[in-house]
Amino acid sequence: MIEEILLAVLAVMAWSVLYKQNPLFRVAESMTVGLTLAFVVYTGIDVLGKRVFAPWSQGVWLTPTTVAALLGFMSWTRLGPRSISWISRWPLACLAGIGTGLAVKGVVGPQILGQLTTKSLIASDPLTSVNNVIIVAATVTTLCYFTFSYRHTGVLGASARVGRVFMMLGFGATLGGFVMTAMGYLIGHMFVVVKPPAVYVVAVALAVLGADVIRSRRIM
Amino acid sequence: MLFYVAPMLFIVFEYYTGVGSNAASALITWGIILSTFTYLIGGFAIFRHHILKIANKNNDWPYSAILMATFASFLGMAYLHQPGYQWVLENVYQPLTILMFGFVGFYTVTALFRGSQVRNIHAGVLITCAVLLMLYNAPVGEAIWPGFQTLGGWLKDVPNTGVMRGVVIGVAIGVLATFVRSLLGLETSYLGGD
Amino acid sequence: MKSAKKGPTLSMVNQDRIIFLLIFVTVAVPMIAPLGLPIPVSPTTAKFFDTVEDIPEGSTVLWCTGIGLSIWYNTGPGEIAALKHIIGLVRERGVKLIVFAQSAEGATIVRRILTEYLDLGGLTYGEDYVDLGWIPGGEAALAGVVADFQSTVETDHAGTPASEIPMLIEISGGDDFDVLGFSSGGMIDAWMRQWAPLKKPILLNIIAISVPLCMPYIDKGMVTAYLNGQRGGAEYEKLLMQPGMGTSFIDAQSMIHLYIVAMIAVVSIWSLGRRVKGQ
C-alpha cells in the first residue's frame, strides 16, 4: 500500500509540470538526477571492482585488463585542468578506434552486401512481384535522395522526389509505432494510479489543480 | 591518431585474415574496461557541476542541494543497507525514471494535434500512413476493420522496408567513409571540441 | 465598418491542458473498467512463439536485455513472457539459458524478472541458467561475447568467477550458442553487425517505434522473429495462457489510439476545410 501511495505522490510531482512549472516538479527532477547519478557511480564502481580491482587484489597484474585500467585512469584527467586534460585524448581515441573497428568489421556483411540482394522481381505470385519491385524502387529512390554529391536535376532529381514520397510512407510508419511506444510510458503507471489507495492522492491533486484554475480565473 | 587508427585497423585486419585473434580479444576487453571508466566520467562531471553550484550559491542552488542529498543517501544505502537500496531502486528510482519519460507520451499527442494540419501532399502521406499504422498496432483496429491489419502490414513490409533499407545502406556507407577518413587523418571528432 | 465577430479562443497552453486531461480520461477509463477487447494474435508474434517452441533439446540460448528502466512497460511484458517460455523449455528439454544485460539498468531488470516473475523451482543456477549481469562496452560487449566468451565474461552478476560456473566452462564463442535473443529500445545495427554473421536464429523483442526501422533485417531473415512492443507482449501472454502486464495495458492502448486517430481526423478535416474556403 505504501508503495502505491508513494508512486501516486511521485506521479503527481512529476506530471504537475503538465499544468505549469512548479517547485514540486523541480524537486522530482532533482531527485531523478541524484538517484541516477548514484546508480551510475555505484554500478560503475561495482563493475570496476569485479573486473579490475579483484584480480589486482589477488596479485594478477600482467593482463590486458591492467593496461585498459591504466588507460581508463588516464581518461579521468578529462575532468582536470587544461594542463593535464590533454592526456585523456589517448584513451578516448583508443576507445573510439575500437568502436569504429568493431562497426566496420560488421558493416559490410549485414548492412551493405546483405541489403543489396533482392528477391526475384518476377515471382510466381504477381502481387509478390509488384511488392518486390516497390521495395527495390523505394530503396533506390531513397538512396538517390541522400546523394548530395550531385545536383538533384534530371533523372536523379526525379528519383529524389519519388524517394521523398516513399520516405514519407516510411516515416509515417515509424510515427505510427511511436504512438504505441509513447503511450506505453504512461499507461504502466496509470494502472496503479487510478486504483485505491493511489487514486485518493490523485483526487487531492486534481482538487488542488481545480482550485488553482478557479483562482487564476478570478485574478484575471 | 595512432591510438585511434591502430586498434581500428587491427580489429578489421583480424576479422578478415584470422591472424591475431588473442590480440583482437584483448582490444575488445580494453573497450569494455575503458567504456566503464568513461561511463563514470559523465557521473563525475554532473557531480562537480552541482557541487560548484551549491558552493557558489548560484541560481536554483537549493535544487542542486536536493540532488546531492538524494545522491548521497542513495549511494550510502547501496553500500551500507542493501535492502533499503533495493527498495528505493524499485519504488522511487524506477518510477521516477519512467515518469520523466512519460512526458514523451503527452507531448507526442500535442505534436500530432498541431502537426496534423495537412499543408501539402507529403504531410498528407505521412499522416495517412501514421494513422494506418496506429490502427494496425492497436488491437481495436482489427476489431473495427480487418483490412487495417492487411493495409498496415503491407505499408510496414513493403514501402517502409525499401526506405529503411536505403537508410541502412546509407548509414553503412557513412561508417565506411568515417573509416577511410580516419585512415587519411581527416577524422578528428574523437579529439572532442579542442 | 463592422468588425468580424470572433468567438472565444483558447491559448495554446490551455489547448494542451485539455488534451492532457483527455489523455488521462481515455487511459484511466479502461483501467478502472476493463473493456475486455479481443487480442488477436498477429503472425509475427505467432512466429516468435513457434520459433521458441521449436528450440531443440539441449540447446543453449543466449539472451541479451538491451533495454533500460524507462521502457520497462513497453518491452517488459514481452521480455517476461519470452523468458517464461524459455525457462519452461529449460525444465522440459534441458535447454540452457544464459542472460546478460547491456546496461546497468538492464541488469536490474534481469534480476527483477528472474526473482519476481519466473518460476525457477527445480532448476539449478549455474547448470540450467545463469545471469551474467551487466557486461559494459556496448557493441564491444556484443562482439566479445560471441568472439571470445571466456575473456569477455569473467564473472556472473554476483561476482562468481565464470570458471566456477559449470555451464560456462565449455563455452568459447558464438558457435556454442544455438539461439540468440535480445531486447532493444532503439536501433539494432550493433547486434546485426556482431551477431547476424553467425547465421543463428535471432529473436528480437523491440519497441513499436523501432519495428519499421528494423524491417530491412527482418525482411532479410537476419532476425528470425520479433515481438512488436506492448502489443507483442500481450499477444505472447495470450499464447502462453498467462495474462500479465501486457494484457492489462492493451485496452488502454486501444482506446488512446482511437482517441489520437479521431483527433487527427478532426484536425485534418478542419484544416482542409479552411484551405478549401481560402482562409
| ipTM associated with this complex | 0.85
What pLDDT does A219 receive? 65
Q: Which of A111, A115, A183 is closest, CB to CB, to C193? A: A111
Read off the pLDDT of each residue in C203-208 and give the average, rounded to a whole number: 96
| Residue C8 pLDDT class (50, 70, 90 cuts) | low
Say yes or no for a CB contact (<8 Å) between B35 and C137: yes
The tally of domains found in chain C comes to 1
Please report which confidence band the pLDDT of residue A120 belongs to, taking 50, 70 and 90 as the band edges.
low
| d(C-alpha C199, C-alpha A70), whole Å | 37
Can you give the residue range of the structural domain that contains C173?
A: 43-242
Cα gap C42→C160, rounded to integer Å: 41
Q: Which residue shows C-alpha cell 473498467?
A: C33
User: How far does B102 lie from chain C, in Å, by closest CA?
Assistant: 9
Burial C217-241 (b: 16+ CB within 10 A, else e): bbbbebbbbbbbbbbbbbbbbbbbe
Sheet with strand C202-206: strands edge to edge: C129-134, C96-101, C60-66, C179-184, C202-206, C225-228
Q: Residue B24's closest chain A neighbor by CA?
A: A98
- Computed over every residue of chain A, the mean pLDDT equals 88
List the single range of A29-33, A97-101, A140-144, C111-115 with lowest mean pLDDT. Answer: A97-101
Q: SS3 for C22-51, per residue?
A: HHHHHHHHHHHCCCCCCCCCCHHHHHHHHH
3-state secondary structure of B144: helix
The answer to the question of residue C192 being in a domain is: yes
Give residues 180 to 199 of C whose Cβ lies within 8 Å of A. Answer: 189-190, 192-194, 196-197
Domain ranges of chain A: 124-195
pLDDT band (50, 70, 90) for residue C1 = very low
Q: Does the pLDDT of residue C106 top 60, yes or no?
A: yes
Q: How far is CA A57 from CA A49, A53, A60, C162, in A?
A: 10, 6, 7, 18
Inter-chain residue contact B149 with C253, CB threshold 8 Å: no
Taking the Cβ of residue A19 and every Cβ of chain B, the question of whether any pair is shorter than 8 Å is answered with no
Residue A110 has pLDDT above 90, yes or no: no
Grid cell 521495395 — which residue?
A135
- Residue C93: is its pLDDT beyond 90? yes
Taking the CA of residue B24 and the nearest CA in chain A, the distance in Å comes to: 10
pLDDT for A32 equals 94
Number of DSSP helices (H) and strands (E) in chain A, helices first? 10, 0
pLDDT at residue A106 greater than cutoff 90: no
Contact of C78 with C55, CB cutoff 8 Å: no
> Is pLDDT above 60 for C2?
no
A70 interfaces chain B, CB cutoff of 8 Å: no
Mean per-residue pLDDT for B165-170? 92
Nearest Cβ partner of B118 from C39, C42, C268?
C268
- A198's CB contacts (< 8 A; 6+ apart) are A4, A5, A7, A8, A11, A192
Q: Cβ distance C245 to C228 under 8 Å?
A: no
CB-CB neighbors (< 8 A) of A109 in chain C:
193, 196-197
In a domain, C274, yes or no: no
Residues of C in contact with A180 (CB under 8 A): 74, 207-209, 229-231, 253, 257
Any alpha helices (H) in B56-158, and if so which ranges? 61-80, 82-88, 94-101, 103-115, 121-137, 139-144, 147-157
Which residues, 6+ apart, have CB-to-CB distance to A36 below 8 Å? B93, B97
Chain A 15-44, CB below 8 Å of chain C: which residues?
Answer: 18-19, 39-40, 43-44
Chain A residue with the nearest C-alpha to that of C155? A50
- Element (DSSP H or E) covering residue A158: helix A154-193
User: Residue C3: inside a domain, yes or no?
Assistant: no
Interchain pair A188, C17: CB under 8 A = no
Which pLDDT score, from 0 to 100, does residue B192 have?
Answer: 58
How is residue C26 written as a grid cell? 481515455
pLDDT band at A193 (very low <50, low <70, confident <90, very high): confident
- Where does the pLDDT of residue B194 fall: very low under 50, low under 70, confident under 90, or very high at 90 and above? very low
pLDDT band at C3 (very low <50, low <70, confident <90, very high): very low
How many Å apart are CA A25 and CA A38, to the nearest integer? 20
* Mean pLDDT of the region A24-40: 93
pTM of the complete model: 0.90
Query: How far C92 CA lies from chain B's nearest CA (Å)?
Result: 32
pLDDT in tens, A43-66: 999 988 888 888 888 888 888 788
User: Among candidates C181, C185, C213, which has minimal Cα distance to C73?
Assistant: C185
- Which pLDDT score is estimated for B191? 61
Phi and psi at residue C179, to the nearest 5° = -140, 135
Is B8's CB within 8 Å of A188's CB? no
Does residue C269 lie in a domain region?
A: no
